[in-house]
Amino acid sequence: MVSKTKRVLAMILAGMMAAAALTGCTPTETTEGGRTAPTTEQSTSGDGESKAATGSAGEAVDVYSEEMTNNIKAKMKEEAAKTDGKITLTFWCAGDDLKFEKTRIEEFKKLYAGDGYEINIKARGAFGEGEAGSKILEAPKDGADVFNFADDQLSSLVESKAIAPVIDLFNNNVVANNSDETVAAYQIDGTPYAFPKPSDNGYFLYYDKRVYPNESDVANLDDMIKKAAENNKNVYFNIGNGWYNAAFYFAAGVTIKYENGKQTTTFDTVEGLNAVKAMCHIAENSGKGFVGTDGGSGDNTAVAKGFKDGSLAAAVIGTWEGPAIKEAIGEENVGAAKLPTALIGGEQKQLESFGGYKLIGVNQFTQYPVTCQALAYFLSNSDSQLARYQERGLIPTDINALKNEAVSADPARKAITDQQPFSHGQGSSVGGKYWATNVGGFGGEIVTKKGAISDDELKKSLKSIQTQIDT
């Protein structure tokens, strides 16, 4: 009988051989959306012990045990030997995360330092989760070796064969330490392609408990705006942004789907009209208890400034602004909740949202597949997620990190949980065509005109957006 240790080692070697083989494939040129995309063949193991890069949960192992660490170091040394003993990687992340990620990268380099090779990792904050996927697709071979991206970009990365599957050694641990919903977010047809980072690719409500002392005070958007105005403050909800104003469309019953590379919506319908009329109703309060655009400064800047100068009582935003809000008004005054209801089609309806994850991917064309996968796993493991929460306020996905007392007590965690039944995964909702439409600009027009737009004009704009998507 094969011992457990030998079975695990066979699994590791099979996975690593498959990962290493990815860069040895000869690309075949195919055209996808104007881009040149490679096609590859993955090698498979013949030992019967494991199949590399599968989504099935296998046996989790202690990746950081001395034995496993030495195995990974040995593979790193082999990779470095091909480039004069030096491993040189590029890592992309959001500018706000750069300082934190650099600190974790230094810890990674210490862990895997070894004789006979050198690890150099160039971290850049030029491309955040919203841009990285598209930038990789422009020229995969020239893109970062490891990069952060939002889960709605996964399908395009996989279709273009620009992202490498995750090897079993790491994926088995990720599966063991995350919920089924989290695991599903980084898989396509059962194959894992990324490492989950925080569960913050969505939005909910942050508010000042001094203005809204009871949870019932933040249940209804009209009531919130009225109370904010009474306190010479505003509620911030950027309906001039297609990511945020989707909350009204979803709540009204508009369908927004992205399946098999095709975007479908039902904007040009009664439901769509009800959604934009609801936005108009809210926009009537612009400057009188409501702020509906970022004024060109960006949501993060607008929200941080608004809470700091006392002009905001509440804001629809995500966990990334939690630390700034706590600093501005004091942690004891910060509340968080699911989105409120809004008056839509004559009824109070629960506002819905996009929800999802931020992920870490490995470039299919990297010269150092094992090193990259080890780095991506390290930056997404329990310790990194907890450290990221402590410094950046981002709620973890890892079940061990979620047990931390501070994470458990954070009101944002409950808000995310409460919003989840009313959230829509970006990967299954929107593709590039959605963002290319005027859905955001139209929302901005509604705010600028303070909702003074006729039904005929609203219908005309909805029809225009629908036509952009359909063609």
Q: Block means of pLDDT (10 residues each) for the chain, length 471 residues?
A: 46 48 32 27 30 52 95 97 97 92 97 96 91 92 95 89 96 93 89 89 94 97 98 97 96 92 94 98 97 92 97 96 95 97 98 91 97 98 94 90 92 90 86 89 96 97 95 80
Q: Is residue 135 part of a domain?
A: yes
Both 349 and 381 in one domain: the answer is: no
Q: Is residue 405 part of a domain?
A: no
Q: Which two tokens stand for residue 13?
A: 């070697």
pLDDT at 155: 85
Residues 182, 57 contacting (CB under 8 angstroms): no
Q: Is residue 111 part of a domain?
A: yes
Answer yes or no: pTM beyond 0.85: no
Both 348 and 363 in one domain: the answer is: no
Q: Tell me which DSSP letter residue 169 carries.
A: H
Q: Is 191 helix (H, G, I), strand (E, B) or coil?
A: strand
Both 254 and 165 in one domain: the answer is: no
| % of the chain residues with pLDDT over 70 | 88
pLDDT at 238: 97
Both 160 and 120 in one domain: the answer is: yes
> CA–CA separation, 276 vs 257, rounded Å?
19
pLDDT at 151: 87
Both 314 and 184 in one domain: the answer is: no
Residues 357, 193 contacting (CB under 8 angstroms): no
- Mind listing the pLDDT tens digit for each residue in 192-241? 999 998 877 789 999 999 999 999 999 999 999 999 999 999 999 999 99
pLDDT at 27: 29
Both 276 and 189 in one domain: the answer is: no
Q: Which CATH number belongs to the domain containing residue 296 in this structure?
A: 3.40.190.10
Both 135 and 278 in one domain: the answer is: no
pLDDT at 426: 81
- Mind listing the pLDDT tens digit for each residue in 295-336? 888 999 999 999 999 999 999 999 889 999 999 999 999 999
Both 293 and 378 in one domain: the answer is: no
Annotate 380-410 with b (16+ C-beta within 10 A) or e (fewer).
bbbebbbbbbeebbbbbbbeebbebeebeeb
Residues 207, 313 contacting (CB under 8 angstroms): yes
Annotate 450-467 with b (16+ C-beta within 10 A) or e (fewer).
bbebeeeebeebbeebbe
Please give the full DSSP string across 397-427, using - where no structure is assigned.
-SHHHHTSHHHHH-HHHHHHHHHGGGEEEGG
Both 377 and 335 in one domain: the answer is: no
pLDDT at 128: 86
Both 134 and 237 in one domain: the answer is: no
Q: Is residue 248 part of a domain?
A: yes
Q: How many structural domains is the chain composed of?
A: 2
For strand 234-236 and strand 290-291, is the pairing parallel, antiparallel, or unpaired? parallel
Q: Is residue 139 part of a domain?
A: yes
Print the domain residue range for 144: 4-42+67-193+358-396
> CA–CA separation, 353 vs 337, rounded Å?
13
Q: Which two tokens stand for residue 438?
A: 């005027």
Both 128 and 154 in one domain: the answer is: yes
pLDDT at 432: 80
Both 104 and 186 in one domain: the answer is: yes
